[in-house]
């Protein structure tokens, strides 16, 4: 049982990141079907990598350089998986009029002007927010990054639970996760996603989580209206937007 769960977790690591996993894990559709429950735990791992690199870099370079190196570490760890989803989603929603047009544009591997501008603004905002957060004491900075990555991935997971999969074919890179989650699986994802927030001041965490919930709700309603549900790209977009919302919430109280 424990080995099966470990294999499922490592399957999630392999799907959502570029990090190596043990050779004994193997490949199976069943592992990927259950992998979404560990999406937030993978986020905690990625957040810890970014925070550790940032904190280490501050020993040698100015905070702005350290933040950029930390961001680069998370991008390398995930292969810009979620940022790509954000860019594709912005391209599709911005350039498509009909549901079919939106899905077709999102499937295109090329990035258009909407996506380029959107991802540029998102990365710039994240850089500015993380610079402010980096001014917090080292333990708080580490926890905020870990919490932001974890809770934002839980926000994406809720779309799998509540919405329908929008594509009718098997061409999407997210198809292995395109199944309705059970309530127990969602509870596991919630445990990992929200747990780091318990280490933050209650008032700060409450504001940040409220913003995350609001952005998730608005995104879900918008996706249903435009394409009838979610795709892998919209999951990535939701993760990126709610991560920014979490940092904005933390700074709204801190400031």
CA dihedral 120, 123, 128, 131 (to 10 degrees): -150
Residue 15 in any domain: the answer is no
Specify if 26 maps to a domain: no
239 versus 5: which is more confidently predicted?
A: 239
Which is higher by pLDDT, 201 or 181?
Answer: 201
**Average pLDDT, integer, range 190-212:** 95
Q: How many domains does the chain have?
A: 1
pLDDT at 171: 52
Give the range of the structural domain holding residue 96, as residue numbers without chain letter: 35-254
214 located within any domain = yes
Place 175 in a pLDDT band, splitting at 50, 70 and 90.
Answer: low
pLDDT number for residue 176? 44
Cβ contacts of residue 174 below 8 Å, gap of 6+?
A: 231, 232, 233, 235
Looking at the DSSP assignment, which residues form a beta bridge with residue 230? 165
Instruction: Compute the 3-state secondary structure of the chain and give helix, strand, coil in percent, each to the nearest 5.
Output: 80, 0, 20
Residue 21 lies in a domain: no
Write the pLDDT tens digit of every residue in 104-148: 999 998 999 999 999 999 999 999 999 999 988 778 999 999 999
Q: Which of 73, 90, 57 is nearest to 17 (CA)?
A: 73
Specify the residue for token string 């994802």: 189
Q: pLDDT by residue (tens digit) across 64-114?
A: 999 999 999 999 999 999 999 999 999 999 999 999 999 999 999 899 999
pLDDT at 238: 98
Determine, yes or no, domain membership for 111.
yes
Q: Look at residue 253 in the predicted model and tell me its pLDDT.
A: 59
**Contacting residues for 28 by C-beta, under 8 A, at least 6 apart:** 11
Distances (CA, A) of 98 to 3, 113, 227: 45, 19, 8
C-alpha 170/C-alpha 148 separation (Å) is: 31
Question: Is residue 140 assigned to a domain?
Answer: yes
Share of the chain above pLDDT 70, in %: 93
Rounded CA-CA distance 123/82 in Å is: 12
* Phi, psi for 214 (deg, rounded to 5): -65, -45
User: Which pLDDT belongs to residue 31?
Assistant: 73
Residue 226, C-beta contacts closer than 8 angstroms, at least 6 positions apart:
93, 99, 102
Q: How confident is the model at residue 255 (pLDDT cuts 50, 70, 90)?
A: very low
pLDDT given at position 26: 72
DSSP 190: H
More confident residue, 31 or 42: 42
Does 10 map to a domain? Answer: no
Is 16 within a domain?
A: no
Task: Give pLDDT, residue 37.
Answer: 92
pTM for the structure as a whole: 0.94
Categorize the per-residue pLDDT at 169 as very low, low, confident or very high, splitting at 50, 70 and 90.
low
The percentage of the chain sitting over the pLDDT mark of 90, rounded to a whole number, equals 76
pLDDT band at residue 24 under the 50/70/90 scheme: confident
Please give the Cα distance from 14 to 20 (Å, whole number): 7
Banded pLDDT at 6 (limits 50, 70, 90): confident
């Amino acid at each position: 049982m424990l080995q099966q769960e470990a294999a499922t977790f490592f399957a999630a690591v392999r799907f959502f990141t570029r990090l190596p996993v043990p050779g004994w894990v193997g490949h199976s559709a069943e592992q990927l079907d259950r992998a979404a429950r560990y999406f937030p735990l993978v986020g905690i791992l990625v957040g810890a990598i970014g925070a550790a690199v940032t904190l280490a870099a501050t020993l040698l370079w100015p905070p702005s350089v350290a933040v950029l190196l930390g961001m680069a570490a998370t991008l390398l760890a995930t292969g810009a998986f979620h940022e790509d989803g954000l860019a594709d989603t912005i391209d599709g929603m911005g350039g498509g009029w009909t549901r079919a047009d939106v899905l077709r544009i999102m499937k295109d591997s090329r990035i258009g002007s909407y996506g380029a501008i959107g991802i540029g603004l998102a990365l710039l905002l994240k850089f500015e927010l993380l610079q402010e957060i980096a001014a917090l004491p080292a333990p708080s900075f580490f926890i905020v990054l870990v919490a932001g990555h974890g809770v934002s991935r839980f926000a994406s997971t809720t779309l799998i639970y509540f919405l329908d999969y929008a594509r009718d074919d098997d061409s999407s890179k997210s198809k292995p996760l395109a199944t309705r989650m059970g309530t127990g699986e969602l509870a596991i994802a919630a445990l990992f996603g929200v747990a780091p927030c318990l280490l933050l001041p209650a008032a700060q965490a409450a504001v940040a989580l409220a913003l995350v919930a609001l952005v998730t709700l608005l995104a879900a309603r918008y996706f249903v209206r435009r394409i009838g549900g979610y795709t892998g790209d919209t999951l990535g977009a939701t993760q990126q937007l709610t991560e920014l919302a979490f940092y904005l919430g933390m700074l709204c109280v801190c400031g």
